[in-house]
Amino acid sequence: METLRVAEAADRVVVTLDRPERRNAIDQRMVDELHEVCEALERDPRILVLTGSDGVFASGADIAELRERTAVDARHAINATIFTRIAELPMPVIAALDGYALGGGAELAYAADFRLGTPRLRVGNPETGLGIIAAAGALWRLPRLVGEPLAKEMVLAGRVLTGEEALAVHLVSDLFEPAELLAGAHALADRIAANDPLATRYTKEVLAAPEADHPRAEREAQAVLFDSPEKHRRMTAFLERRRG
């Protein structure tokens, strides 16, 4: 791949945004390559860890490309489509954020299930200063994550949060020194991977279901899991440990 570095393991895939000459700005090629990653993870579900190269997550969408896009491109929702696909992957997504996570880079982070940061993280949505809106998820994901008052300050007044501020409002769940960030992401992935992958997948699916669908969705997911061999194996092991 030209814009991503991909490292695969049995239970996870680590994808590094790698356009350091553009501070990992998200261009069409990166979007296309992220679709390739999603296609693979939809076939073979594993945890996804997203990070950036050279101390930057993603400085935003590629402004040179963005400047030339038209109303037709806006209606195609190029970035919003890939971010939604990432959010809907079967297994959890962890975004490990260092340096800038701005504009489209922030919206990519908002699509993850977990966000980890560093003290030097700067996250925000300055799109209105460029004459556009944050149209790839920030206007509805961010209020859910941090509440409407702070989200409005970020998307309407251009407030950029530091790592410490992002931690205080739970936009990120933990901070690490830059050299330890990826290790922190792997530690979180280890905790997820220790659980039953099928139960994890159903939990993510039901969490994302509309509220009105929850009773039915929970019943159907639990029905499948109650008959799974892995549920029987894990519960038997638990009972044997308790007896021991």
Point out the residues that are catalytic.
107, 127
- Cβ-based neighbours of 154, under 8 Å, separated by 6 or more: 124, 125, 138, 142, 146, 160, 161
| R_g of the chain computed on alpha carbons | 19
Neighbour count for residue 4 (Cβ, 10 Å): 19
Does residue 23 sit in helix, strand or coil? coil
Which element (helix H / strand E) includes 110?
A: helix 104-110
Beta strand pairing status for 114-117 and 174-175? parallel
**Cα 186 from Cα 12, distance rounded (Å):** 9
Crossing angle between the packed helical segments 214-226 and 197-208, to the nearest 10 degrees: 170
